[in-house]
Amino acid sequence: MKAVKIILAVAGLTFLFSGLVFLIGGRPVTGVVMLGAGVFLIVFGLRKPKTRNVVIRRELELSGDVNLESMKCNQCGGSLSSDNISVRAGAIYVVCPFCNSEYQIEEAPKW
């Protein structure tokens, strides 16, 4: 991409020089057109690309009242903390640090 920008800038300088030659040589229309093309190529070749700042924010909305409870692994009964919980594809997964078992947490209906 950088090589293309250098080529555009060099082509713009060439057009500027040629435009000046045509202006001095008595061809004002051709000289002005070449000067305009040269300025356009130089500006287009030297401009910086636009950068975009993207912020990804994820929120988890839980239905009903949510209380903090101690969690235990379904396989080995080991104590789990919030560090063992992750959200992938909109689902909540738990990985046990003791037995390395992984399972998805499902919300039980309240009725």
**What is the distance between the alpha carbons of residues 17 and 5, in angstroms, rounded to a whole number?**
19
pLDDT in tens, 18-51: 999 998 988 889 999 999 999 998 888 888 777 8
Give the predicted TM-score (pTM) of the model. 0.43
> In the predicted model, is pLDDT for residue 14 greater than 80?
yes
Map out the domains of the chain as residue ranges: 2-46, 71-105
Task: Output the pLDDT for position 2.
Answer: 81
